[in-house]
């Protein structure tokens, strides 16, 4: 689980630095001249100016949009800090969003863990690689809580973004990816977990599902090519499929078993090829399985493809 948390803890790292004071009359959207944003939180523009609005598209995998808030304090040095990070795929599917307003050290807000698309929406999405990105995003963000029973604090975000200048990206490593071909199923990055001599792989979809490849004794790259068959009673290599049943929020504890329903699963996965990509061994896995509830099929993956170097 610690690997899963790294993706969330990344949002807490701040790029803080100091310089000479700036003019208070500076426009709130002071960023790269060709990149523009109109941001409103609970209907109001932020009190701190926006700088270094930028975007990058890396490894044919994720679009990342970010900016700094520039904070002015009377008789003190001004400073800037990371304030916004939106991740989405090239088709405009939201992966995650984080925002910090700097009016209070604890004012950090997140898209709903496990179900970001349940409270955030994108409209008018346009993207031409390295040329133009334009969209509107609106919905709810949540302050992270450690109390399971606490009502989450919510803010409403409404923003329009236009990017014409992109940060170059040199892709130095292969990014694991799961492609299902099933509508509305967009999975975040695959993570590998090793615990008690057992290896598992997991990924979370943006609509509240988890897929887990478990009971592995070797990594996928170490396993031979071939077909592996499993059913709901299998104790060897298998695929589990779960649905999040909790309320939208951002929660420190991460996965709480009571909030997940585990379906019965049966099917197969086949390691069909291995090849070197950028100096790393990459395996391609074809996946076929059904998830059932009381004997009724809930979801079926046919010829889904996992590509991983993990």
Instruction: Compute the distance between CA of residue 202 and CA of residue 235 in angstroms, rounded to an integer.
Output: 17
pLDDT of residue 4: 39
pLDDT of residue 11: 36
What residues have CB less than 8 Å from 101, skipping those under 6 apart? 41, 46, 47, 48, 69, 83, 107, 109
pLDDT of residue 136: 98
pLDDT of residue 80: 78
pLDDT digits 0-9 by tens, 89-129:
999 999 999 999 998 888 999 999 999 999 999 999 999 98
Cβ 271 vs Cβ 283: under 8 Å: yes
Cβ 102 vs Cβ 71: under 8 Å: yes
Place of tokens 């995003």: 137
pLDDT digits 0-9 by tens, 209-235:
999 999 999 999 999 999 999 999 999
pLDDT of residue 6: 37
Instruction: Compute the distance between CA of residue 83 and CA of residue 217 in angstroms, rounded to an integer.
Output: 42
pLDDT of residue 181: 87
pLDDT of residue 59: 78
pLDDT of residue 7: 40
Q: Is 300 exposed, middle or buried (0-12, 13-18, 19+ CB in 10 A)?
A: middle
Predicted model pTM? 0.84
Cβ 112 vs Cβ 250: under 8 Å: yes
Q: Which of 300, 269, 25 is nearest to 185 (CA)?
A: 300
pLDDT of residue 236: 96
pLDDT lower than 70: segments of the chain: 1-33
């Amino acid at each position: 689980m610690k690997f899963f948390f790294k993706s969330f803890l990344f949002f807490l790292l701040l790029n803080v630095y100091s310089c000479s004071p700036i003019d208070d009359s500076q426009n709130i959207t002071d960023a790269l001249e060709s990149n523009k944003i109109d941001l409103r939180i609970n209907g109001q523009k932020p009190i701190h100016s926006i700088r270094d609005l930028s975007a990058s598209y890396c490894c044919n995998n994720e679009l990342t949009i970010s900016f700094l808030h520039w904070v002015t304090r009377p008789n003190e040095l001004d400073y800037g800090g990371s304030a916004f990070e939106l991740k989405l795929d090239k088709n405009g599917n939201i992966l995650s969003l984080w925002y910090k307003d700097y009016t209070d050290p604890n004012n950090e807000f997140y898209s709903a863990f496990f179900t970001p698309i349940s409270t955030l929406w994108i409209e008018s999405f346009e993207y031409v690689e390295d040329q133009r990105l334009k969209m509107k995003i609106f919905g709810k963000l949540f302050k992270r809580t450690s109390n399971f029973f606490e009502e989450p604090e919510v803010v409403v975000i409404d923003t329009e973004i236009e990017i014409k200048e992109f940060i170059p990206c040199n892709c130095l490593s292969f990014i694991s990816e799961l492609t299902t071909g099933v509508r509305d199923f967009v999975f975040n990055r695959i993570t590998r977990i090793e615990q008690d001599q057992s290896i598992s792989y997991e990924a979370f979809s943006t609509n509240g599902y988890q897929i887990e490849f478990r009971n592995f004794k070797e990594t996928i790259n170490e396993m031979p090519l071939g077909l592996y068959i499993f059913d709901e009673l299998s104790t060897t290599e298998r695929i589990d499929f779960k649905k999040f049943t909790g309320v939208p929020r951002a929660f420190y504890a991460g996965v709480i078993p009571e909030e997940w329903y585990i379906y019965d699963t049966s099917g197969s996965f086949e390691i069909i090829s291995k090849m070197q990509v950028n100096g790393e061994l990459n395996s391609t896995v074809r996946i076929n399985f059904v998830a059932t509830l009381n004997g009724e099929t809930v979801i079926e993956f046919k010829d889904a493809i996992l590509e991983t170097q993990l």
